């Protein structure tokens, strides 16, 4: 393919193979108005003297403001600023509405919450086809410790560190079920050990977990939840908890008996929850915040996909109740 018959869409798609961050470049026009646009053509040029560049579409409604202004600011957007990127890529809207802005040289607007920010003086402008290449000397910069937003193939992405090579001798055949099972087993081990020192069994561990989803269930409902983890809850076990003063059964006949916490049962479950949350924190120690969110999102997608034929009583809405102790069913 030579460049006289390029399909612009395909050319754009091929360029999209180059992964970038996302920036918002701002300036102040001669009319005293703030201007800004989303740009991923930003790049570093020189360390000494410190210089950067980006290219500006001549069609942009801000084109004149940028080419006439002496200064511009580049904001490298953080992961949670996708909405700002979309706003600054729109034409004919008040992009700065509701934003708190600081001020740089000549009053150029400075945005908050980004990963890094560069205040620049325009030193060169080059012709670049339908774009103008703006080169700026960096006068000041700020770096914030927030993960950056990523752009690839026409869509937003998140940074994820490459996983270390999987050692099959450790992880069996690299089967997802084994990985999930092993991760779950290892993660909950410290909770079970702690409960053991308090004289509680594996069945108690499950019972505390099930009841933390919400009280007021019947024994039949609770037993169905136990089936979910392949266990059976004997009636005598429940009676033991009642004898210990941790649960009460409220009703006239056994069929409609509902299970409630006593105050000490509730306290014990809250303690169990604290163990569970501590176990989660320690399990996620090797991941940064973004990776942990990604992991949960991806597992969530597997759950959604594999749960289409889940029996009614296993569905989230039939397990979680308003009186659950986790606060956010999520």
Chain positions contacting ligand FMN, by CB under 6 A: 22, 37-41, 54-57, 60-62, 85, 88-89, 91, 151
Distance of alpha carbon 258 from alpha carbon 280, whole angstroms: 31
| Token reading at 115 | 């990963």
CB of 265: closest distance to ligand FMN in angstroms? 53
Contacts of 220 (CB under 8 A, 6+ apart): none
Contacts of 191 (CB under 8 A, 6+ apart): 205, 272, 275, 276, 279
Of 40 and 269, the one with the shorter C-beta distance to ligand FMN is: 40
Closest by Cα among 101, 117, 97 to 109: 101
DSSP H or E stretch at residue 286: none
CB of 215: closest distance to ligand FMN in angstroms? 49
Of 39 and 211, the one with the shorter C-beta distance to ligand FMN is: 39
Task: Say how many C-beta atoms besides its own lie within 10 A of residue 139's C-beta.
Answer: 14
Of 62 and 146, the one with the shorter C-beta distance to ligand FMN is: 62
CB of 66: closest distance to ligand FMN in angstroms? 9
Closest by Cα among 89, 82, 107 to 37: 89
Distance of alpha carbon 37 from alpha carbon 180, whole angstroms: 43
Paired residues of 104 in beta bridges = none
DSSP code of residue 257: -
Of 61 and 264, the one with the shorter C-beta distance to ligand FMN is: 61
Q: Write the Ramachandran bin of 259: left for phi over 0, alpha for psi from -120 to 50, otherwise beta.
A: beta
CB of 144: closest distance to ligand FMN in angstroms? 20
Of 85 and 115, the one with the shorter C-beta distance to ligand FMN is: 85
Distances (CA, A) of 268 to 199, 240, 273, 275: 12, 15, 9, 11
CB of 259: closest distance to ligand FMN in angstroms? 53
Closest by Cα among 34, 40, 196 to 108: 34
CB of 53: closest distance to ligand FMN in angstroms? 10
CB of 35: closest distance to ligand FMN in angstroms? 8
Of 40 and 81, the one with the shorter C-beta distance to ligand FMN is: 40
247 and 261 Cβ atoms separated by less than 8 Å: yes
CB of 202: closest distance to ligand FMN in angstroms? 51
């Amino acid at each position: 393919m030579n460049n006289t018959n390029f399909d612009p869409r395909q050319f754009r798609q091929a360029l999209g193979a180059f992964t970038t961050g996302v920036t918002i470049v701002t300036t102040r026009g001669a009319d005293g108005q703030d201007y800004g646009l989303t740009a991923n053509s930003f790049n570093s040029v020189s360390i000494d003297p410190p210089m950067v560049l980006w290219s500006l579409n001549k069609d942009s409604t801000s084109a004149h403001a940028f080419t006439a202004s002496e200064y511009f600011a580049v904001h490298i957007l953080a992961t949670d600023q996708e909405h700002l990127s979309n706003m600054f890529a729109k034409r004919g809207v008040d992009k700065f509405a509701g934003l708190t802005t600081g001020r740089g040289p000549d009053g150029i607007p400075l945005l908050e919450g980004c990963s890094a920010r560069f205040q620049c003086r325009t030193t060169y402008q080059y012709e670049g086809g339908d774009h103008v290449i703006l080169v700026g000397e960096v006068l000041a910069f700020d770096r914030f410790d927030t993960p950056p937003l990523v752009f690839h193939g026409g869509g937003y992405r998140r940074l994820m560190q490459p996983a270390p090579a999987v050692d099959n001798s450790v992880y069996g055949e690299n089967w997802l079920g084994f990985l999930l099972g092993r991760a779950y087993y290892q993660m909950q081990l410290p909770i079970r050990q702690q409960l053991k020192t308090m004289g509680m069994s594996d069945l108690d561990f499950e019972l505390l977990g099930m009841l933390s989803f919400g009280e007021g269930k019947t024994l039949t409902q609770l037993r169905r939840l136990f089936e979910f983890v392949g266990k059976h809850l004997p009636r005598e076990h429940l009676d033991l908890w009642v004898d210990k003063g941790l649960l009460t059964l409220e009703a006239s006949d056994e069929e409609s008996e509902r299970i409630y916490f006593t105050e000490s049962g509730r306290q014990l479950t809250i303690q169990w929850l604290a163990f569970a949350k501590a176990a989660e924190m320690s399990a996620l120690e090797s991941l940064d915040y973004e990776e942990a969110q990604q992991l949960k999102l991806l597992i969530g997608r597997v759950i959604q996909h594999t749960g289409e034929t889940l029996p009614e009583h296993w569905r989230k809405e039939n397990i979680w109740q308003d009186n659950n102790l986790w606060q956010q069913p999520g």
